[in-house]
Structure 1
């Protein structure tokens, strides 16, 4: 994800969804990008 809105992650990567959700929640794009890239998926066993 780049700050100019270009998606660099492949095929609807889940981090893009997190980024869009954070931006929609009125978080600054820079902060949203940082949070999205730090996020980890958790799987239930």
Structure 2
């Protein structure tokens, strides 16, 4: 995934915001990808 695509998902609310200056909680992102954690916003438009 291109960085711009990732940021589009973050800005749309589909992925969580960075926890610290352009740093994300990898475990949280992996849990979202596995479906073990609800995404911050299930209702988003790209």
Q: TM-score range by the shorter chain?
A: 0.3 to 0.5
Higher relative contact order (CA 8 A, sep 6+): 2
In the superposition, the TM-score normalised over structure 2's length comes to 0.34
Q: Decide which structure has greater helix share.
A: 1
In the superposition, the TM-score normalised over structure 1's length comes to 0.34
Greater C-alpha radius of gyration: 1
